[in-house]
Each structure stands twice: as C-alpha cells, then as structure tokens.
C-alpha cells in the first residue's frame, strides 16, 4: 500500500503509477466553497423575490387606480425622503453612542461604568413615544430656562427644531439598546485575546481597536442590522412631534380626501418595501463579513 492508503502499480521501467483517486473523495463545490480562502460565487438571495413582489404590487395598484394611489404616492414622496434621512442620520449617531456606552459598561473605572449603566437602565424603561414627546415639548422649555438663568441669549431664545429633536430622541433611546448589543459582543470575545494583545506591547485602546472590536463587529452585525430595521419602522412615531415623515404625510392626505383604506394600504406597502430592501442588504453584508472573517 502507498503512504496515502491507495494501492499503486509498477510500470515497465520500475516507475510506480498511482491509481487515480476515487470519485467519492473529490470535494463537492459546496465543500470547496466552505474552504478557508476560497470565495464562492455570489448567489442572489431568493428572498429578493419578495421585494420585487411588493414593488410590483405597488405598481399594479397605481396602474389599476391612479386616483388615489398615484396621488398618494406623489403627495408622500417628501415624507419618504424625510423618513430615510431620519433613519440614516439617527443610526450613524446611534452606532457612536452604542459603542461608547458598550465600552463604558465594561470599563474598569467605576464612575464611567456607573454612568453608562444608569443611562442604559433609565432610558430602556421609558417608551420611545414618551421620550420623543419630552424632547419636543419639554426639552426646549428646559433649555430656555437655563438660558434665562445663565443670561445666555441664544439659549433663552431657543426654538424647537422638530427634525433635530426627533433625531436626538431616537439616538438617546436606541443608543441604550445598542450599548447592550456592543457590550455583549465585546464580552463574547475570549479574554485571552486581550491578554495576548497586551503581551505584544499594545495598550488597552490599541488592543481594543485592532484585536477586540474587529472580532466583536462580526458578532454584533446581525443584531445591529435588526436594530436598523426596527429604527426604520419606529421613525413613524416622530409624526406626533410635527415631523413631516411618511406617516404624517399620509395622515394629512387622508384628512383631506377621507379615503383611509387606499392611503394606509399604500403607506404600509411603502414601509414594507423599505424594510424588506434593508433586510436583504443587511443579509448580504453579513455574508460578506462572514467570508472575510473566515
């Protein structure tokens, strides 16, 4: 027997000829695609068909009954833009607040850890709608009172900006939940990783930046993506604080034309289309991140 376990034969000149490998030992394309360093070809996520189906349904409704479906879509177009801007801008700051909060929750400094934990526990105990209302109606009064007490004219004459305060409310609320996601992701990395980085001469921040956080990002990507989708839907709550988002614009159209079935059917389909599209993009990012990490 040959060293590989397969029999071999000797030719005319004494040269051994190895038998061809068995077909059942040849790895399949699926096995090759899972091998480290081999990137498989991209396959379209089959759930994209649902995104296309919702888009086609919206088109069919518009073609079948342009009045009012087309009128509603044209009327709420600016609201769609506001909803997207709110979601993207808020999520950018939520990631920053969540990362800082997560690092604060695991900090060795008791003061930083206490402040971070207090922030998370308090904010998570108040409904998002209540927080948005407080930021829009109560926060400007507090700012004006501080300006009067300190004799600072810009603060004393402060006027509420609905979009800015809506972003602040979303960031404060979702930042608390994101802090817990980052905390769990960082703590899921074995402590030996930090010890190994420190033994190589890195300080705490260098080890966190170059060793711990890159691994933690792979862990937290699915829940972070889920938070983005939840945020996209929860932006509808800002309609109660004078932000002309998709929901508020739909309500304004309905109050003028009194056709709630058509209006809210189209609004629901538009939200569904945006969330399904976001979910598919996030799923693609998760796959790409998994391949790079392997």
| Rg (alpha carbons) of the chain, rounded to whole number | 28
In the chain, DSSP assigns E strands to 8-10, 16-18
Is the pLDDT at 164 greater than 80? The verdict is yes
Residue 7 scores a pLDDT above 70: no
Average pLDDT, the chain: 86
CB-based contact 254:260 (threshold 8 Å): yes
Give yes or no for residue 24 having a pLDDT over 60.
no
How open is the CA angle 190-279-249, to the nearest 5 degrees? 130
Return the structure tokens found at 2: 């040959």
Q: What is the pLDDT of residue 294?
A: 43
- Position 88 scores a pLDDT of 96
* pLDDT in the model for residue 22: 52
**Does the predicted TM-score (pTM) go above 0.85?**
no
| Confidence label for 26 from pLDDT (cuts 50, 70 and 90) | low
- pLDDT at res. 200: 86
The most confident of the ranges 37-41, 207-211, 276-280 is: 276-280
Per-residue confidence at 105, pLDDT binned at 50, 70, 90?
very high
Q: Could you tell me which of 90, 101, 43 has the C-alpha nearest to residue 234? A: 90
Question: Cα 172 vs. chain centroid, distance in angstroms?
Answer: 16
String of DSSP letters for 61-106: HHHH-HHHHHHHHHHTHHHHHHHHHHHHHHHHHHHHHHHHHHHHHT
- Identify the pLDDT of residue 118: 96
Mean pLDDT score, 159-171: 93
**Is pLDDT at 72 greater than 70 in this prediction?**
yes
pLDDT band at 198 (very low <50, low <70, confident <90, very high): confident
- The yes-or-no verdict on residue 2 having pLDDT over 50 is no
Give percent of the chain with pLDDT exceeding 70.
83
pLDDT computed for residue 287 by the predictor: 82
The pLDDT of residue 147: 92
Domains and CATH numbers, the chain: 70-293 (1.10.3720.10)
Cβ–Cβ under 8 Å, residues 128 and 169? yes
Predicted confidence (pLDDT) per residue in 238-284, tens digit = 999 989 999 999 999 999 988 999 999 999 999 999 999 999 999 98
């Amino acid at each position: 027997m040959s060293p590989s376990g397969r029999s071999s034969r000797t030719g005319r000149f004494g040269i051994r000829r190895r038998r061809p490998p068995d077909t059942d030992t040849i790895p399949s394309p699926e096995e090759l695609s899972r091998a480290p360093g081999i990137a498989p070809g991209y396959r379209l996520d089959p759930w994209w068909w649902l995104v296309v189906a919702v888009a086609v349904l919206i088109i069919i409704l518009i073609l079948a009954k342009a009045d009012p479906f087309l009128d509603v879509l044209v009327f709420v177009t600016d609201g769609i833009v506001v909803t997207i801007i709110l979601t993207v801008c808020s999520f950018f700051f939520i990631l920053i607040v969540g990362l800082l909060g997560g690092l604060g929750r695991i900090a060795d400094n008791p003061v930083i850890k206490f402040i971070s934990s207090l922030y998370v526990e308090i904010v998570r105990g108040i409904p998002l709608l209540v927080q948005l209302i407080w930021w829009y109606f109560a926060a400007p009064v507090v700012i004006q009172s501080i300006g009067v007490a300190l004799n600072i004219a810009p603060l004393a004459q402060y006027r509420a900006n609905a979009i800015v305060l809506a972003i602040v409310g979303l960031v404060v609320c979702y930042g608390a939940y994101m802090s817990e996601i980052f905390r769990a992701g960082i703590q899921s990395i074995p402590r030996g990783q930090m010890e190994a980085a420190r033994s190589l001469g890195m300080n705490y921040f260098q080890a966190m930046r170059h060793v711990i956080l890159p691994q933690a990002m792979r862990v937290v990507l699915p829940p972070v993506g889920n938070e983005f989708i939840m945020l996209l839907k929860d932006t509808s709550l800002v309609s109660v604080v004078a932000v002309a988002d998709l929901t508020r614009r739909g309500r304004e159209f309905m109050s003028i034309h009194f056709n709630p079935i058509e209006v809210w059917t189209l609004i629901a389909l538009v939200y569904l289309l945006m969330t399904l599209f976001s979910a598919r993009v996030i799923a693609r990012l998760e796959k790409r991140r998994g391949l790079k990490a392997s």
